[in-house]
Chain A
């Protein structure tokens, strides 16, 4: 009798607390002292404000407001700190869901803590394939992990070679060259090794000639020697894999030398608004993969990018896809009529969400499905001080790719 009474009281208490919940708490985890974390937060803030202005998230006939918890993961400095930040937001701040993460090595540790607590964690920032492989290998433990953005490393490689093929096509047409010459300029770092190997393998198959490989430091302040050698090799394309400040130096010095070759690849610095000024206005024709631009990747892209720029006075980077992550949660919560992670997993698995830069659908590894019309990425080029998007060409608003005069 007493047991029944206690159980009834406990159930009543639990029900009251569930009914009493007026907000959905979403923890935004990222390196907040860095531009990546800043974008995590800005994207999530926009989503929160949009949802709350529209009345919140409907669950069981009630409207719940979105509440964000800003959590500095300190992941650039310390992996244990990143894992502790996850523990803190789950057990202390009582977050219902987690979004963010950037450094793959740290996100692996963060993933462990989230999975221990069976909390839905929508990754925005880390690209390593392993994060999704774990879902496939041990579904029951890792099913609470979904990667919203970017596409996994392997797919990122597929995109970069896709755009390279288009650039080579332009060179073939414009300069009547059958086999464009490609110089690979990759910073000396582990992440570039797979891409270099892929270039060595794929370029001949793509009817391009690889004239050499140059590997400056990610923080090199001068690449004159490399660029001279590339010029002597007669390269048409400088295929870049650069994440550090060397990306700025490369753009500036290519402009100073009036190089005939065009730079395309991954150049993280060239994705930033400040790139043109940092390269002293000399980085004309430098191009790179990117995520957002004022082109109609989806019907939402242009108004969202404009709203982002108006609010924060800068362009979004791919970490601002936390906006989509929050919106995916809203859609899944409303469909499942629940805020329990276990109820949301099957809903998100079947979701097709029209995002700001992609139509997000998830594969069996809970990675975004790659391909045209899904998650793909775009190619952008600096043209006379403006960053313009040029690839994929079928997207409305794309500008033609330009080559240096010969």
Chain B
């Protein structure tokens, strides 16, 4: 036991606490886990729960759009597929939501594979426009078969995964932490590197022997998996689902979160949701702002993009970390020499920490 604790501490000290960005993430995760014990306000817990679910959705979009370059304008399709499939199975077959959430996620993954297959030959704006059509088609189908789909009203009275406020909160937080960390690991792995290569030059990637269609399909499926899980969790948390889970506005919302936070980072869109979702909700609490919340939202997004063109998260990271010019490892901004290779870090043209590795 003592050995494992010691090992955990070493890992923490050498891998996490050495970098301010990782320390920040650790503090944020601990804060989320401790929040109900420090401030058990039901309204705050509700907003954080919803924020966590949308954060999964935003991170899933980033894997597809940011890493593989397949900019999806209809990402709500997967969110809605997860929500609807789980709701249908739970209401029509009376299955436990703990089962149907996974079944909904599986259906969303299949939708991801289907959408990915149909878009294999498309690139750039053509792919974006094609994906934009998918949730519209799905909505049309829902309205065409109201007896099966619940029509414009959708489904209500869904069972919750947990009956307590705390239970639902922890389900959302743990699901978000696990999925976001999982997606980040995937994006940081060899698989993520291949996706980067495909995004930057698909022809070159194919010439290097990479089976690009397979990787693109996998990116679609993984992204749909996470988005579908977020949709299914939201449906059971709110006890309702309906065409709002497929709305075009939701598809664009996730694009805004992605770009605001910083694409191809995973943590960027998550940070964006954690800033923008509670902020717009907070505006809603003020009579003077509430009815103009979309205007304020737009102004904040525009200002951030004007002054932080690569997004919020990379901007913050640039301020607190430095990239070593020799070994390309990141260091805390206060360091004068690299923590790994001891190369001097103070230079007139200090490289930015979030610049892609060139070495």
Contact = CB atoms under 8 A, between A and B. Distances in A.
A81 B247 CA distance: 14
Contacts of A394: none
A77 interface: yes
B43 A79 contact: no
B239 A112 contact: yes
Contacts of B284: 72, 74, 81, 84-85, 88
Instruction: Give the interface residue-count category, chain A.
Output: 20 to 34
B223 to A, nearest CB: 21
Nearest to A31: B291
Given A33-B291, A87-B46, A191-B152, A79 B143 contact: no
A130 B292 CA distance: 31
Given A104-B153, A112-B240, A128-B153, A87 B42 contact: yes
Contacts of B287: 70, 72
Interface string B258-299: 000000000000000000000001001101001111100000
Contacts of B242: 79, 105, 108
A51 interface: no
Contact of A105 (B46, B153, B239, B290): B153
Interface centre among A80, A108, A190 (most CB of B within 10 A): A80
Nearest to B146: A190
A248 interface: no
A171 B43 CA distance: 58
Contacts of B344: none
A235 interface: no
A106 B152 CA distance: 11
A78 B253 CA distance: 11
Interface residues of B, number: 31
Q: Which secondary structure characterizes the binding site on chain B?
A: helix
Given A84-B47, A92-B285, A78 B239 contact: no
A44 to B, nearest CB: 14
B154 interface: yes
B243 interface: yes
Contact of B240 (A74, A79, A85, A191): A79
A363 to B, nearest CB: 20
A190 B147 CA distance: 12
Given A81-B281, A138-B157, 17 more contacts: A74-B284, A79-B238, A80-B50, A81-B284, A84-B46, A87-B46, A88-B284, A88-B285, A92-B41, A104-B153, A105-B153, A109-B238, A109-B239, A112-B238, A130-B156, A137-B157, A190-B143
Interface of A: 32-33, 70-72, 74, 77-81, 83-85, 87-88, 91-92, 104-106, 108-109, 112, 128, 130, 134, 137-138, 190-191, 193
18 contacts: A32-B290, A71-B290, A72-B290, A72-B291, A79-B242, A84-B47, A84-B50, A84-B284, A92-B41, A92-B285, A105-B154, A105-B240, A105-B244, A109-B238, A112-B240, A128-B153, A137-B157, A190-B146
